[in-house]
Amino acid sequence: MTFSVLQSVYRRDNPVFLSQSLQSIADNTLQPVQIVLVKDGTLTSALETVISEWQSKLPLKVVGYEQNQGLAHALNYGLQFVETELVARMDSDDICYTDRFEKQLNEFKAQPELALLSGYIDEFNDNPDTIVSTRIVPLEHSEIKEYLKKRNAFNHMAVMFKKSAVIESGNYKKVPYFEDYDLWIRVIQKGFLSKNIPEKLVKARIGNDMIGRRHGLAYSKHEIFFLKRQFKTGFISKSEYRKLILLRVPVRLLPKGLLKLVYKLLRG
**Which amino acid belongs to residue 128?**
P
What's the CATH architecture for 3-208? Alpha-Beta Complex (3.90)
From CA 160, how far away is CA 2, in angstroms rounded?
Answer: 12
Q: What is the pTM of this model?
A: 0.90
Helix, strand or coil, per DSSP, at residue 208: coil
pLDDT surpassing 90 at residue 261 = no
From CA 73, how far away is CA 55, in angstroms rounded?
Answer: 23
pLDDT surpassing 60 at residue 140 = yes
pLDDT of residue 210: 53
Confidence bin at 220 (pLDDT 50/70/90): confident
Span 6-55, pLDDT tens digits: 999 999 999 999 999 999 999 999 999 999 999 999 999 999 999 999 99
pLDDT of residue 263: 53
Span 173-184, pLDDT tens digits: 999 999 999 999
DSSP, res 254: S
pLDDT surpassing 80 at residue 253 = no
pLDDT surpassing 70 at residue 265 = no
- Smallest CA-to-CA distance from 233 within 165, 182, 267 is with 182
pLDDT of residue 20: 97
- Smallest CA-to-CA distance from 205 within 112, 87, 77, 94 is with 94
H-state helical runs in 29-88? 45-54, 71-79
CB atoms < 10 A from the CB of 29, how many? 11
pLDDT of residue 214: 61
Span 53-93, pLDDT tens digits: 999 999 999 999 999 999 999 999 999 999 999 999 999 99
pLDDT of residue 152: 96
pLDDT surpassing 80 at residue 2 = yes
Q: Which residue would you say has higher pLDDT here, 178 or 216? A: 178
Q: Which residue would you say has higher pLDDT here, 113 or 262? A: 113
pLDDT of residue 247: 82
Mean of all residue pLDDT scores within the chain = 92
pLDDT of residue 136: 96
pLDDT surpassing 90 at residue 134 = yes
pLDDT of residue 264: 59
Confidence bin at 216 (pLDDT 50/70/90): low
pLDDT of residue 197: 98
Phi and psi at residue 59, to the nearest 5°? -80, 65
